[in-house]
Amino acid sequence: MSNSPFNLTGKVAIVTGANTGIGQGIAVALAQAGADVALVARRDPAETVSMIEAAGRKSAVIMADLATTEPCERIIAETKAALGSVDILVNNAGIIRRNDALDFTEDDWDAVMDTNLKVLFFLTQAAGREMAANGGGSVINVASMLTFQGGIRVASYTASKSGVGGLTKLLANEWAGKDINVNAIAPGYIATNNTAALQADEDRNRQILERIPVGRWGDPSDLGGAAVFLASDAAKYVHGHILAVDGGWLAR
């Protein structure tokens, strides 16, 4: 692996929402490819720490609530202090609120837009300043099928993830010349806490499975290869791309 363009040895990644689900899957994959990883979480990511240790890499735990922009600068500073640099940022933390558009509340709008879009932007700004000063880096935003589609009963989630797609392209335009790659991964239906309600709903679960060409829900580990690719030198000429990892969902 040492000469492989996918090798991340010597790089430091920040992964938000790294205690569980897709964030855990991506953090472990980056570590397996050689990166040390700062795990940003509001609950103890002990399980992810052990998985990174098992991969033979270092981790740092940064406790932060990403409901507001308050911890953004601290996350960058603590990562540098603990692991030495900031080369990769994976903006994974996100929430969803479900309600009919006619009944959707301002609270459900603000909570989702703040974490999924506003804090994502300002954390990326803080990381981008660091990367620009140090010769480059990679930003990977976790988007969604609802970056491309409308969805139903998830107004703020669709707005936020459509916004993530737009920001990915805007930041790529502004930062490609600074050797910072900004791209996104759009997961399909992945079995995590975020989709527990859908998995438990027999009708919705059947409808979803019938539409996924590969015929199964994704696992968080299914996102790992895409993240390693976008974080690596193999993707040096890839800018502003939104890579679907969806078992074929969008091809239907």
Q: Which is nearer to ligand NAP, 130 or 222 (CB)?
A: 222
Of 25 and 34, CB closest to ligand NAP = 25
Residue 238 CB, shortest distance to ligand NAP, in Å, is: 20
Marked catalytic residue, from 121, 157, 217, 229: 157
Look up tokens 């880096």; give the residue.
137
Contact status, residue 77 vs residue 53, Cβ threshold 8 Å: no
Binding site for ligand NAP (CB under 6 A): 17, 19-23, 41-43, 65-67, 92-95, 115, 142, 144, 187, 189-190, 192-195
Degrees, nearest 5: CA angle 17-26-109: 35
Q: Please, what is the minimum distance in Å from the beta carbon of residue 191 to ligand NAP?
A: 7
Distance CA 119, CA 104 (A): 22
The rounded distance, in Å, linking the Cα atoms of 63 and 202 is 36
Q: Tokens 């040895």 appear where?
A: 9
Q: What is the nearest approach in angstroms of ligand NAP to the Cβ of residue 152?
A: 15
Inter-residue contact 132 to 175 (CB < 8 Å): yes
Q: Cα-Cα-Cα-Cα dihedral of 163, 26, 187, 168, to 10°? A: 30
237 is catalytic: no
User: For 117, which DSSP code?
Assistant: I
Tell me which residues are annotated as active site. Answer: 157
